[in-house]
Amino acid sequence: MKKFALALLLALLFPLAVGFTGDPCIHQGQLTFESHIAEAKTLAYAASVNSDVFHHSWCHYVGRIRSYNLIGFKSRAEAVNSGRRPCKVCRP
């Protein structure tokens, strides 16, 4: 229960810490915040903010990423330029 409460608190406070104004927030080509998760899943590539690996959006590992940690990329180049490496399973 404590982990859930902490995760919920972080999900609510993180947008405030970075100056979220309610508008869609794209930071360096990465979609963030829970309100943009559907859009991130429709993009070609996805990753976790806590990982250095990116995946095809259909990779089963994307389903394991918590919604508040999910970011999306429009192209492979964007994902690579963010410092992430390709997943060894889906091989994007």
CA distance to 20, 22, 58, 62, 92, per residue, from 26 (Å): 10, 12, 22, 20, 22
Name the residue with tokens 């869609």: 24
Could you tell me the strand order of the sheet in which 70-73 lies? 26-27, 30-31, 70-73, 45-48, 53-56, 85-86
Closest CA to 47 of 25, 22, 10, 80: 80
Residue 86 has pLDDT above 50, yes or no: yes
Q: What is the pLDDT of residue 48?
A: 96
- Phi, psi of 20, deg, nearest 5: -65, 130
The per-residue pLDDT for range 23-78, each reduced to its tens digit, is: 344 444 554 445 445 655 578 999 999 999 999 999 999 989 998 999 999 999 99
Residue 42 is predicted with a pLDDT of 72
pLDDT at 89 over 70: yes
